[in-house]
């Protein structure tokens, strides 16, 4: 798992309190690829100060998503190279794409890495069935892995973030304010309504985002 430096606290809590203890019983562990392996952080290089996350602007558009590639795919590949994998030692990566999101399954861009999708080809399961399987073991409902400032969050997930006491909401508000002081791309916002995050009127509505990350490296 890559550490983006901004993963939601609930993801780490789930990993440390539920997943890793179970893996310990069979001598396995989740390896964390450090964010230091990324060669770019929040803002792109070259002086334009464009955020690499898919934020919305007040002209009705959305900036392109570079964060998954820079913070996850490339970081994991560099970590694998550090472990000795490469052209002389190929590797198979298992990615958790379920049958109801088959369009997100992609081939690897490295000839020494092969992508395999066990939930598509070995034990076919939908996202709902995966969650049910976890619940049937007696574990709490697993959270969706995501960064606390991800613009692809649904309104329901924003509200959940706001109601949690772990500090992620305050971090998201601070970043939302910061991105409006940078760059030449209009006023930028984390929420699709182009309203400052702490001023969004939720009104009990739950809207799913119309855009989703299709790389297969988020949400698992």
Name the residue with tokens 């698992």. Answer: 220
pLDDT score at 181 = 81
Please state, in angstroms and rounded to a whole number, the distance separating the CA atoms of residues 27 and 145.
Answer: 23
Q: Is residue 220 part of a domain?
A: no
CB contact at 8 A, 12 and 167: no
Nearest Cα neighbor of 155 from 183, 125, 130, 190 is 190
Q: Is residue 71 part of a domain?
A: yes
pLDDT score at 166 = 93
Nearest Cα neighbor of 215 from 45, 76, 112, 26 is 76
Q: Give ∠ CA 57-63-64 in degrees, rounded to 5.
A: 165
pTM value is 0.86
Please state, in angstroms and rounded to a whole number, the distance separating the CA atoms of residues 84 and 81.
Answer: 5
Nearest Cα neighbor of 52 from 69, 65, 39, 61 is 65
Task: Say how many C-beta atoms besides its own lie within 10 A of residue 140's C-beta.
Answer: 10
pLDDT score at 44 = 78
Strands 188-189, 113-116: pairing kind: unpaired
Q: Is residue 216 part of a domain?
A: no
Query: Into how many domains does the chain fold?
Result: 1
Q: Is residue 209 part of a domain?
A: no
Please state, in angstroms and rounded to a whole number, the distance separating the CA atoms of residues 110 and 86.
Answer: 9
pLDDT of the chain, 220 residues: tens digit per residue: 999 999 999 999 999 999 999 999 999 999 999 999 999 999 877 666 789 999 999 887 898 999 999 999 999 999 999 999 999 999 999 999 999 999 999 999 999 999 999 999 999 999 999 999 999 999 999 998 899 999 999 999 999 999 999 999 999 999 999 998 876 677 899 999 999 999 998 875 555 554 555 445 554 3
Please state, in angstroms and rounded to a whole number, the distance separating the CA atoms of residues 169 and 184.
Answer: 26
Q: Is residue 30 part of a domain?
A: yes
Diameter of the chain measured on Cα atoms:
56
pLDDT score at 219 = 43
Q: Is residue 205 part of a domain?
A: no
Q: Which domain holds residue 162?
A: 9-199
Q: Is residue 4 part of a domain?
A: no
Q: Is residue 219 part of a domain?
A: no
- Reading the block at residue 173, the tokens are 């508000």
């Amino acid at each position: 798992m890559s550490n983006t430096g901004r993963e939601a606290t609930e993801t780490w809590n789930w990993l440390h309190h539920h997943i890793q203890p179970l893996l310990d019983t069979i001598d396995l562990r989740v390896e964390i690829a450090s964010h230091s392996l990324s060669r770019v952080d929040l803002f792109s290089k070259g002086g334009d100060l464009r955020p690499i996350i898919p934020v919305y602007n007040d002209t009705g558009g959305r900036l392109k998503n570079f964060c998954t590639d820079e913070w996850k795919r490339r970081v994991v590949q560099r970590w694998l190279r550090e472990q000795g994998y490469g052209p002389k030692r190929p590797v198979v990566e298992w990615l958790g794409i379920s049958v109801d999101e088959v369009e997100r399954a992609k081939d690897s861009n490295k000839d020494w890495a092969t992508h395999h999708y066990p939930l598509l080809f070995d034990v076919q399961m939908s996202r709902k069935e995966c969650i049910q399987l976890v619940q049937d073991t007696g574990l709490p409902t697993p959270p969706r892995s995501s960064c606390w400032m991800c613009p692809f969050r649904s309104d329901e997930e924003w509200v959940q973030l706001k109601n949690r006491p772990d500090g992620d909401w305050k971090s998201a508000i601070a970043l939302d304010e910061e991105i409006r002081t940078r760059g030449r791309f209009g006023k930028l916002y984390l929420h699709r309504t182009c309203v400052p995050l702490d001023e969004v009127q939720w009104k009990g509505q739950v809207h799913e985002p119309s855009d989703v990350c299709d790389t297969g490296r988020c949400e698992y």
